Amino acid sequence: MLKIIVNADDLGISEDVNNAIAECFAERFITSTTLMVNMDYADEAVELARRSGWHERVGLHLNLTSGRPLTKEIARHKCFCDREGNFNAAFFHDMYKRMHFNKEQTMAVRAEAEAQIIRYLEYGLPNKHLDSHHYVHTDASVWKAVEPLIEKYGLRSVRLTRNMHGRMGFAKRVYKERFNRRLKTMPVQTTDYFGSFKDFMLCREDLTDGSLVEIMVHPMHNEAGRLVDTDKPIEEEMDYLSRIKYVKEFY
């Protein structure tokens, strides 16, 4: 029997996503969510979570690619922000930068990550789980900046790099295996597998019985007002999960 966490990413990115995630909790489609503390709808998201009774299931969705940063130093670097001071995701599209930052860039990322962790803790959210927008915490350069903060702020769990996948190149597979092994040596909780619902469907026959699996979803409403996971009706995904042998778990 698999143990499954269904996490809704991107809480706080918009009013619609906040409402879609609240609806998912009400329908028992998801077990947890992660908050983008630098986005305009973060305060509204936390208020909604408290009012609806799921604030204890809210982790941190570290964000270095969308919206405005919380700190000024990172905005001085063109690989992170545009002239208006908004994140531009330039480093995310540069493989060298994803593997290596210079000292100043590392310190700027560390300061921004620390500010986001502090903002999350100031909300009084007890989950203390960390993952990230566009999986940036799993990039070697970002992880070097973020890793010292995990123990400093007592974070309890961290998302793996995506390891439920279809075809994967040799170098990428080796990197992912090394990152996940390193993460599992730290005093934090992790799952055994992580990926999207599509990844899960591709790999489900190969998952070890008893494994803890995290499935990420991105709830929103389509033009017809239907609840979807990006573009696929989320109730269809959850209906499938309800028909296999599994138990829902929480970090």
Amino acid at 98: R
Mean confidence (pLDDT) of the chain:
96
CB 129 within 8 A of CB 157: yes
**What are the tokens at 77?**
């670097």
- For 26-81, write each residue's pLDDT tens digit: 999 999 999 999 999 999 999 999 999 999 999 999 999 999 999 999 999 999 99
- For 89-146, write each residue's pLDDT tens digit: 999 999 999 999 999 999 999 999 999 999 999 999 999 999 999 999 999 999 999 9
pLDDT over 70 percentage in the chain:
99
**Quick check: helix, strand or coil at residue 225?**
coil
Q: Which domains does the chain have, with CATH numbers?
A: 2-248 (3.20.20.370)
* pTM check: above 0.75: yes
- Residues contacting 217, CB < 8 A, separation 6+: 6, 7, 8, 9, 24, 29, 30, 196, 197, 229, 234, 237
DSSP state of 158: E
φ/ψ bin of 210: left (φ > 0), alpha (ψ from -120 to 50), beta (otherwise): left
